[in-house]
Amino acid sequence: MGFPETLDHLVYAVPDLEAASAAFEELTGVRPKPGGRHPVGSANTLVALTRNGERAPHYLEIIGPDPQRAGSGPVPVFGLAHLERPHLATFAVGVRDLDDAVARARAAGYDPGDPKPWSRATPDGGELHWSLAKREDRTYPAPVPFLIDWGATPQPGLGDLPTLELVSVRAEHPDPKAVGRSLAALGVRLTLDEGPEPVLEAVLRGPKGDTVLR
């Protein structure tokens, strides 16, 4: 097993960000660092992911409704509006030219969505900007990733974050052939098996041994 070479980050969606981040620290021995808040009403905490013992541009995003905006309505991304328990929802792959990547995927038979600008307000008062192409799936986990282009913004996985080792990423789906065609259109290699329902699974290694997120 391995993981996609173009992996940018894993998305661990949670209904309560503060509780899930504390539980993650208890489980792994690593405390996620606050990342910031998104205009759509979500917030995140982050952990960098090493690769074969070396720092790589990968990270884990724990994302949930922004605690500072409690009661402001459902959050319309990653299934957070109706999420009841934490799970590994999907992942992002990095590209250098988002418009070109979208065009190539569409030509190969998969529409990843239109490129859109995104931003995040950081705890130190700054703001990060990037672009992504993302379809909001009707159900999660979603083993087909979205595309992200950081442009001139430094990729967060190489920043000042606590770290865990990424051991592997795999998925299951009732129709692996269809999912495989979508992955191929994006140029993404992912260990994919047939299963009764969609599953995305990552193995992380840290102070408390191996942790399986799914």
Q: Could you report the per-residue pLDDT of 134-153, keeping only the tens digit for each?
A: 998 888 999 999 999 999 99
- Structure pTM? 0.96
pLDDT at residue 69 greater than cutoff 90: no
Cα→Cα distances 62→115, 156, 185, Å: 23, 13, 27
Task: Indicate the domain borders of the chain.
Answer: 7-213
Strand 146-149 vs strand 7-13: parallel, antiparallel, or unpaired?
A: unpaired
Residue 1 has pLDDT above 60, yes or no: no
Q: How confident is the model at residue 188 (pLDDT cuts 50, 70, 90)?
A: very high
From CA 6, how far away is CA 103, in angstroms rounded? 18
Task: Yes or no: say if 44 and 63 are a contact pair by the CB < 8 Å rule.
Answer: yes
Which CATH entry fits the domain spanning 7-213: 3.40.50.1980, 3.40.50.12280, 3.10.180.10, 3.30.43.10? 3.10.180.10
